[in-house]
Structure 1
Amino acid sequence: MDYIRIEGASKPVSRLIKGSDYFTHETYDTAVRNLDAFLAAGGNTLDTAYIYTGGQSEEVIGRYMQEKGNRDQWVILTKGAHHDQNGPRVNREAIDADLARSLERLQTSSVELYALHRDDPSVPVGEILEVLNRHIEAGTIEAIGASNWTWQRLQEANEYAAAHGLRGFSFSSPNHSLAKANEPFWPGCVSADEATCNWHERQQLPLLSWSSQARGFFTGQFTPERRDNEDLVRVFYSDENWERLRRAEQLAEAKNASTIQIALAYVLNQPFPTSAVIGARNPAELDSCAEGATIQLSREQLEWLDLRQDHISASLD
C-alpha cells in the first residue's frame, strides 16, 4: 500500500484509512478481524471520533491495541468539538475535554492526527489555533487538521498560524468523491467542490476524504428509478452524477475493474496528496479497495469522469 506524509505526524499515513464508525462493544470480534486484515493489507491509519457510536468506537480501538500490543503500528486520527443539542462547541473547554476523554478511551497518551469535527465560523481562528498548539506543545497531538471546514477558513487559519509562529492545519478531511453532493449529508458537513480541490492543489495540503465512494452510489445497486434510500436520493441523485456513474462504468470496463474501484481511484489520483476513509467490513470489500487504490488515472481521465470535459482523446485504458 502507498502512503502520504502529513506535516507533524511521525509516521506515514496509508492511502486507505480504516473507518470505525460502526465499532461497538457488541461487535468487538468483527472489529478485531477487520483491523487485523487492514493491517495485514498494509493499512496503518484509523479514523475515529469522540462521538462515534457514543464513544464505543474509540473504546474498541483502545481495547484492541492494548490486547494486541500494537499501538506503535497505527496512526490514529480522531476528532472532537462536534456540536451538541445546544449548538457549536468549538471552544477551549470542549476541545480540552473531548481530547482528554478520547485519549482515555483509546488507552494512549497521544494521537498522530487530531481534527476538529465541525467549524464554528463565529469563533476567531486565532483562538482555536492557540488551544490546539498548546496540545501540540504538551505532546498529546502531533498534527492538527479540520474536518468539514471550508477552504477559506483553512486558509485564514494557516495565514494566522504563519503570522504568529504557530503550527497550522496540516490536513483537511471533508467529503470528497466522484459523485458531487447536492446538499450536506449531515448539517454542518462540507464536501470538496472544484474551488476546494483547486485550493488543495495550490497548497498541496493533504485531503483525507470521508464517504469517498459516495456511500455505495457506484456499486450498481442504485438507479434513478430506485428511490428507497432517502439520504442517497437527497444527497447524490442528480443528472450529472448519473452521467459520472455512466462514465465510471465505461472506464471500469476498459481497465478491467469495477465501477466502485474507479470511484475510489478518482479520489486517490488527485493532483494533491489524498487518502480515502473506507468502510470495508469483509475480505471482499477490503480486497476491492486495495485493488482500486492501485489504479492509475490521468489528469485527462479525471476531468472526463468529473464532466469537466466532454471528450477524451487518449485511450481509456
Structure 2
Amino acid sequence: MEKVNLGNSGIKSAPIIFGGNVFGWTLDEKESFKMLDELFELGFTTIDTADVYSRWADGVPHGTSERIIGKWIKTRKIRDKVTLITKGGSCLQPGGPKNNSRDYLTGAAKDSLLRLQTDYIDLYFTHYDDKETPVEEALEAYQSFISSGEIKHIGASNFSAERLQKSLSIAAEKDLPPYEVFQPEYNLMVRDKFEGETEEICSKNQLGVVPYFSLASGFLTGKYRKKEDFEGKDRKIFTEKFLNPRGEKILKSLDQISEKHQVSQAGIALAWLMKRPGVSAPIASATKSSHLKSFIEAIEVNLSQEDMQVLNKASETQD
C-alpha cells in the first residue's frame, strides 16, 4: 500500500488512519486483536488513540484502548512496523477541564508510554486547547521527550485558528518544538471547523492534516436515515443531530455517487475527504471486518471533478 506524508513531519502513513477509540468500547480485547490483525494484513498500520479512550464506557477505565493496542503490538512483535499516534491533555473525568500544563502533560505522556508498552510514540497530540495555560507549556513538556526520543513528533488537535497560529509562532520565537500535524473534526457534515483560516494556517506551515469523525460518527455510511435507526445505538448521541434537511441532501448526493461507482457511501465519503485540499489522511474506525471494505474502496475509487462538485454543493448549504 502506498504511503502518504503527514506534512513535513517525515512520518509516512497508510492513506487511512485507523481510529482506536473503538478498542475497549464497542470491541473487547479479543475482538480488538482480530480487527488489528486484519488491519495489519491489509496494510493499515497507522493507529490513532488517546489516553482517555474508553473512559465513557461503564466499568471500563480510561486508557483501555492504549492498553489493548500496546498488548497487541508486544504480542505480535511488530513495533517497528506500526505508526502509533496518541494524545494527552483531556481530563480523565468526563466533563472535566482540559489541562496542558507542563507537569500534567509530562505525566500523561509517561503513562501512555507505559500503557502502550513502547519506548517511543511516533506522534503525540495535545488533545484539546487549554486556554488557561500558556501555549508554550505544552511545547516545553514535549521538548524533553523529543530530546530523549520517547516522542518523535507532536501535533495539535481541536485548536482554534488563533491558538494554533500562536503555538506555531511561540515555537519559532522560543526555539521550542513546533506542532507538525493538525487533527480537526472534518467531514461532509462538518466543514467549518477546518476550512478557511485553519486550513490556510496548516497549508502555510506545511502541517499534515488528519481529520477525525471522517464518517460523521457513522452518519455518512447511510445507515441512519430516520430517528428509529438511532435507537439502541452507541453512536446516537453523535449522529442524531445530523438528521436534518442538509443531512438528507448530503446522503442523497452520496447515494448518487455511490451508485455511479458501485462502491459504498462510506467509501465515497472517505474518498471525498482524501481529495480535499490539505488533507493528508483521514481517521476512520470500524467494528466489523466488512466495514474495512470501504477503506479499500476509498483508496481505489477515482472521483471525478464532477463527482467532487456534486458532493461539495450538497454539503455547502447550512440550515
TM-score (norm 1): 0.86
8 A Cα contact 2:22 2:287, kept in partner: no
Distance 1:45 1:309, change over 3 A: closer
* Residue 92 (str. 1) matches residue 93 (str. 2): no
1:265 to 268, 271, 278: 271
Counterpart of 1:51? 52
Distance 1:230 1:112 in 2: 31
Structure 2 counterparts to residues 133-152 of structure 1, below 5 A: 133-152=143-162
Counterpart of 2:59? none
Distance 2:250 2:204 in 1: 25
8 A Cα contact 1:113 1:141, kept in partner: yes
8 A Cα contact 1:136 1:143, kept in partner: yes
SS in 1 for 2:266: helix
Structure 2 counterparts to residues 46-85 of structure 1, below 5 A: 46-53=47-54, 54-85=62-93
1:117 CA drift (Å): 1.1
2:198 to 196, 199, 218: 196
Counterpart of 1:15? 15
8 A Cα contact 2:70 2:117, kept in partner: yes
SS in 1 for 2:302: coil
Opposite residue 27 of structure 1, the aligned amino acid is D
1:142 CA drift (Å): 0.7
* Residue 175 (str. 1) matches residue 185 (str. 2): yes
Structure 2 counterparts to residues 219-238 of structure 1, below 5 A: 219-223=221-225, 226=228, 228=231, 229-234=236-241, 236-238=242-244
Distance 1:139 1:8, change over 3 A: farther
SS in 2 for 1:217: helix
Counterpart of 1:289? 295
Distance 1:296 1:122, change over 3 A: farther
Counterpart of 1:314? none
Higher alpha-carbon deviation: 161-170 or 108-117: 161-170
1:308 CA drift (Å): 7.7
Root-mean-square deviation (CA), in Å?
2.5
**1:67-126, Cα deviation, whole Å (9 max, x unpaired):** 111111000001011124552211111101111011011111110000011111232222
Distance 2:40 2:212 in 1: 19
What percent identity do the matched residue pairs reach? Answer: 28
Distance 1:67 1:195 in 2: 44
1:207 to 201, 209, 233: 209
TM-score (norm 2): 0.85
* Residue 218 (str. 1) matches residue 220 (str. 2): yes
Counterpart of 2:249? 243
Distance 1:308 1:280, change over 3 A: closer
SS in 1 for 2:286: coil
Distance 1:248 1:194 in 2: 24
8 A Cα contact 2:246 2:314, kept in partner: no
Distance 1:119 1:230 in 2: 23
Distance 1:244 1:60, change over 3 A: same
Counterpart of 2:58? none
SS in 2 for 1:34: helix
Opposite residue 282 of structure 1, the aligned amino acid is K
8 A Cα contact 1:9 1:113, kept in partner: no
SS in 2 for 1:176: coil
Counterpart of 1:2? 2
Opposite residue 58 of structure 1, the aligned amino acid is E
8 A Cα contact 2:249 2:314, kept in partner: no
Unaligned runs of 5+ in 2: 55-61
1:217 CA drift (Å): 1.2
